[in-house]
Amino acid sequence: MANRWFRLPNLRRLLTAALVSYLLFGAGMYLFQRQFMYFPDGSEALPLNYDLENFTRVPLISGDGTAIAVWVHPARTGMNTIVYFHGNAGHLGYRADKFRAFAEAGFGLVAVSYRGYGGSEGQPTETGLYDDAATALSYALNTLHIPENNVILYGESLGTGIATHLATTHPQIALLVLEAPYRSVEARAQELYPYLPVHYLIKDRYPQAALMAKVKAPVLIFHGTDDVIIPIQHGRDVYAATQAPKHLVVFEGKGHTNFDAEALIAEIKKSLTHE
């Protein structure tokens, strides 16, 4: 009996320490979550540094006054223009090979460098990235005078939620392309941190699957079976939530967005011609 009572205070101290550690960890995740979520390379990125011919870096001012930029390449006559929303890491220069393939195939390109990425000012947030995306599309529609029905909204990884958000208010676009989409950032975070009440802690949710019912344009989804960053079940769930004409392309043995650009282009062309 004496040993039992001797051990109880130690157990209480252990439980108290565990609870305090848990609360401190949760508080740290809440306060610093955007540092854990976004991985921008803020260094200046110029198309000429990546041997991208006929690409121009155009400075823009986002809706809240933040200075951002887009990379622009004109479309070949009769071809669509891709308004591109990149993924979480790096900057536009990391996508140079894909952009070159798009351009060589005749597509125009307006690729937005989000706030905090590639020489754009500010720090990334969900609301801020939505603003940056809307600014890029507005530039394409109102400055370059590209008809909405000639625009392809293309989201890569994190950018899929941004492209989907924009597509809900632009039903006349030619196509919405989602490369490795997620149900929501909240859902993926809960999978990664099952011991945390993510719903109450997360600031940037990107509720992509919930928005798909509002998308009226045709949807093309790419996902790899071996994706460990955003598991393919997310892509399947986004596909299931889509009410518009849709097509899911599964790349066997591929991971997160490491797809052959020529294969992507071939599927995009099929979708545009309704094959």
User: What does the pLDDT look like over 217-247, one tens digit per residue?
Assistant: 999 999 999 999 999 999 999 999 999 999 9
Residues 246, 210, 233, 229: is their CA dihedral positive or negative? positive
**3 shares its domain with 113:** no
Specify the higher pLDDT residue, 39 or 80.
80
**90 shares its domain with 146:** yes
**174 shares its domain with 242:** yes
Please state the pTM of the whole predicted model: 0.91
pLDDT confidence of residue 2: 47
Give the domain CATH number at 218.
Answer: 3.40.50.1820
Grade residue 14 by pLDDT with cuts at 50, 70 and 90: confident
**150 shares its domain with 218:** yes
Long-range CB contacts (< 8 A, 24+ apart) of 236-241? 237/183, 237/209, 238/160, 238/178, 238/181, 238/182, 238/183, 238/208, 238/209, 238/212, 241/209, 241/210, 241/212, 241/213
Q: Quick one: average pLDDT of 188-196? A: 91
pLDDT at 6 over 70: no
**75 shares its domain with 108:** yes
pLDDT confidence of residue 123: 95
User: What does the pLDDT look like over 79-101, one tens digit per residue?
Assistant: 999 999 999 989 999 999 999 99
**101 shares its domain with 234:** yes
**22 shares its domain with 45:** no
Q: Which of 8-12, 38-42, 158-162, 227-231 has the lowest mean pLDDT?
A: 8-12
**180 shares its domain with 246:** yes
Grade residue 193 by pLDDT with cuts at 50, 70 and 90: confident
**68 shares its domain with 23:** no
Q: Which of 32-36, 43-47, 114-118, 126-130 has the lowest mean pLDDT?
A: 32-36
Cα distance between residue 72 and residue 41, in whole Å = 20
Grade residue 3 by pLDDT with cuts at 50, 70 and 90: low
Average pLDDT, the chain: 92
Domain count, the chain: 2
pLDDT confidence of residue 29: 64
pLDDT confidence of residue 198: 85
Domain extent, residue 10, equals 1-31
Q: Quick one: average pLDDT of 187-202? A: 89
> Which residues are 68's β-sheet partners?
60
pLDDT confidence of residue 19: 65
Cα dihedral 251→255→257→258 (10° resolution): -90
**15 shares its domain with 96:** no
**48 shares its domain with 88:** yes
pLDDT confidence of residue 12: 74
**49 shares its domain with 26:** no
